[in-house]
């Protein structure tokens, strides 16, 4: 009997404290958790308006996940001086406009994965001076804009995985000011073409992933001048690489060439060359 009473008591206390941590602002209900974590619970509109998410001085991490938001107007996020991480994944955003995030100069991580983003204004990420990681995974981007990361001097990790990119054009990151080192993730697009000058302006890359694309040939021109730790060419359509290009292609400390339709002869040549040149070329079948 005492045990049951005690349990009821605990449930009551938990409920009361959860409700106490709820508050409503501009038609949006948030729940505040320990450590400055804010979770959006309910809302009345599908478009976030100027000032919708504002004036929460201790907000360290905000979750606006799985809410079906279709749009965010400039000024949506304001006066959030402690905000470090912002999760807006699994919504229905189509466009990222200039002025939505630009005041968040302390933000280090922006996660926009699993939306329907097909357009990002060139200045959308301007002035995000602390931004290190941006996740654009699983959206509908068909092209890259070299201005996106012009004014994000701390950017290090960019994921474009699972979009609809078909090429990486010349100078795609040509305006980047961050010193890196970078990780660039392009997994699961439809990339067939990488311009010789695609990565010009980047010096050091920790991880360049081109996995699960439609690359048929590589000459390594686009890798010239880069220092790379890990390069993934996994799961593309490469049958062979001409021997004269081996030195240019296998520049990374480690290159993953698994799951390509290699000819046996070519694969053997690559493996022999790698051994002779002390390079790690991984081919897991
Ligand atoms: C989002 O939309 C789906 C489909 O219309 C619906 O089932 C779901 O409940 C909505 N989610 C929210 C948080 O409104
Ligand atoms: C960033 O954080 C610093 C100190 O943590 C604070 O003084 C500053 O106002 C914040 N910047 C913004 C734009 O909120
Ligand atoms: C970036 O900051 C500069 C200087 O404060 C300001 O003039 C500009 O409007 C800002 N850009 C955006 C897109 O907010
Ligand atoms: C490649 O490996 C060496 C030795 O482990 C390391 O010092 C170097 O930083 C690596 N290169 C990159 C770009 O990470």
Where along the chain do its domains lie? 25-282
pLDDT (average), residues 12-34: 76
In this model, does residue 273 exceed pLDDT 60?
A: yes
Q: Which of 42-51, 100-109, 175-184 has the lowest mean pLDDT?
A: 42-51
Query: Atom 10 of ligand 3 has which residue's CA nearest to it?
Result: 127
More confident residue, 177 or 194: 194
Backbone angles phi, psi at 23, to 5 degrees: -150, 155
**Ligand number, closest to the Cα atom of 254:** 4
Task: Report pLDDT digits (tens) over 145-158.
Answer: 999 999 999 999 99
pLDDT of residue 43: 85
Cβ count within 10 A of residue 202: 22
Decide whether any atom of ligand 3 lies within 6 Å of the 127 Cβ: yes
Q: Judge if the upstream peptide bond of residue 181 is cis by omega within 30 degrees of 0.
A: yes
Q: Could you tell me the end-to-end alpha-carbon distance of the chain, in angstroms, rounded to an integer?
A: 61
Is residue 145 within 8 Å of residue 168, measured between CB atoms? no
* Average pLDDT, rounded, for the chain: 93
Q: Which of 37-41, 115-119, 189-193, 233-237 has the lowest mean pLDDT?
A: 37-41
Quick one: pLDDT at residue 20? 65
Task: Report percent pLDDT > 70 for the chain.
Answer: 93
pLDDT tens for residues 111-149?
999 999 999 999 999 999 999 999 999 999 999 999 999
pLDDT of residue 11: 55
Measuring from atom 2 of ligand 1, which residue has the nearest CA?
68
Quickly state the pLDDT bin for 86 (edges 50, 70, 90): very high
For residue 252, report the distance from its CA to the centre of ligand 4, in Å. 9
Tell how far the Cα of 127 is from the centroid of ligand 3, in angstroms.
6
Residue 280 has pLDDT above 90, yes or no: yes
Work out which ligand 3 atom sits closest to the CA atom of 126. Answer: 13
What's the confidence (pLDDT) of residue 265? 97
Q: State residue 5's pLDDT score.
A: 54
CA 88 to chain centre: 12
Return the CATH number of the domain spanning residue range 25-282: 3.80.10.10
CA distance 203 to 250: 16
């Amino acid at each position: 009997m005492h045990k049951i009473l005690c349990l009821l008591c605990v449930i009551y206390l938990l409920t009361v404290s959860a409700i106490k941590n709820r508050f409503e602002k501009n038609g949006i209900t948030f729940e505040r958790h320990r450590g400055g974590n804010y979770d959006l619970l309910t809302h009345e509109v599908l478009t976030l308006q100027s000032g919708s998410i504002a004036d929460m001085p201790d907000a360290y991490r905000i979750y606006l996940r799985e809410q079906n938001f279709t749009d965010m107007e400039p000024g949506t996020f304001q006066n959030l001086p402690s905000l470090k991480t912002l999760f807006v994944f699994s919504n229905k955003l189509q466009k990222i406009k200039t002025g939505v995030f630009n005041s968040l100069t302390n933000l280090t991580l922006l996660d926009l994965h699993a939306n329907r983003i097909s357009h990002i204004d060139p200045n959308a990420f301007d002035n995000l001076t602390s931004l290190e990681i941006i996740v654009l995974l699983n959206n509908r981007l068909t092209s890259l804009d070299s201005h996106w990361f012009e004014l994000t001097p701390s950017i290090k990790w960019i994921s474009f995985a699972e979009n609809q990119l078909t090429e990486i054009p010349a100078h795609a990151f040509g305006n980047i000011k961050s010193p890196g080192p970078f990780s660039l993730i392009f997994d699961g697009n439809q990339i067939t073409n990488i311009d010789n000058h695609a990565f010009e302006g980047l010096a050091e890359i920790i991880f360049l992933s081109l996995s699960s694309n439609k690359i048929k040939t590589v000459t390594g021109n686009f890798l010239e001048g880069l220092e790379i730790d890990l390069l993934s060419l996994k799961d593309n359509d490469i049958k062979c690489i001409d021997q004269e290009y081996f030195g240019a292609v296998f520049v990374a400390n480690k290159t993953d060439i698994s799951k390509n339709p290699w000819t046996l002869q070519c694969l053997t040549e690559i493996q022999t060359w790698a051994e002779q040149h002390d390079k790690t070329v991984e081919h897991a079948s």
